[in-house]
Amino acid sequence: MIKIGDPIRLEPLDGSARQYRSKVLAVDGGAIHIGYPVDEQTGKTVYLLNGMQFKASFVSQEGTLYMFDTEVKGKVHDPLPMVVLDYRGDEYVIRIQRRRYVRVRANVDAAVHPLGGGEFAPFVTMTADISAGGAVLYIPMTHAPLLRPGMSVELWLVLTMRSGDCHYVRTKATVVRMAVDEHSGARMAVEFAGLASQDRVRLIRHNFERQLEEKGINKETAWNTARKNGRRGCSP
């Protein structure tokens, strides 16, 4: 899938919003070799340490965007200096829909507040599904009559990452539609408005991890990571 010459971007999994760019110079079994990456913000060469973990993304020669988890395995000089990244195989790569953010089923803790006035009392809930562009939230039946399409709200989300880290995302959101059912309760679909770029990146990464979990290919890794780092609780 990944080929020599493909541009590649690396996003550290330490919670920072940095992005590094490079190019694939060699594909060797369970590893890929890239040139020393450059920080997109500073334009300076970045020297990576063994064991550093990243979310890698690349665009295939057909124009499709893909993402996968990787780790720095070492350095080689053959004949150019290159960084060796782990590449476990095509089955661990997720194809990203570029025209529309991928939506995944996930119960993310959330808090909803009114903007400006007191149209409704703030409440704590969770999402039914979420993407980097919006979400569907469960709504208390008492609040359903007070929320309507077109209304703007303040939304807090708690993203629990596979490493155990928590990220708190605060954004304005616009109510797109309401659905009320006497059996399943009330749900509200919202579209994020003015979401910070670093928070959108975190949402994409969070949903990417949920996709991997749905595919059942990272359960052992997630368990080992949680044991190593110590799972920490999050709350909105």
CATH class of 104-229: mainly beta
The answer for 207, left when phi > 0, alpha when psi is -120 to 50, beta otherwise, is: alpha
Helix, strand, or coil (residue 214): helix
The residues near 168 (Cβ < 8 Å, ≥ 6 apart) are: 156, 157, 158, 159, 236
Decide the pairing of beta strands 81-86 and 31-35. Answer: antiparallel
pLDDT of residue 15: 63
**Unique residue bearing structure tokens 């969770």:** 126
pLDDT of residue 153: 95
Q: What is the pTM of this model?
A: 0.56
**Unique residue bearing structure tokens 């893909």:** 66
Give the long-range contacts of residues 163-168, CB within 8 A, separation 24 or more.
Answer: 163/13, 163/225, 163/229, 164/225, 164/226, 164/229, 164/230, 164/231, 164/232, 165/15, 165/232, 166/232, 166/234, 167/15, 167/199, 167/202, 167/206, 168/236
pLDDT of residue 216: 65
pLDDT of residue 16: 66
Domains 7-96 and 104-229 share a fold: no
pLDDT of residue 97: 61
Which residue ranges make up each domain of the chain? 7-96, 104-229
CATH of 7-96 among 2.30.110.10, 3.40.50.200, 3.40.50.11440, 3.30.413.10: 2.30.110.10
Kindly list the distances between the CA atom of residue 24 and the CA atoms of 10, 33, 87, 209, in Å, as whole numbers in the listed order. 12, 6, 12, 23
Please identify every stretch of the chain with a pLDDT value under 50, giving residue numbers as ranges.
99, 218-232
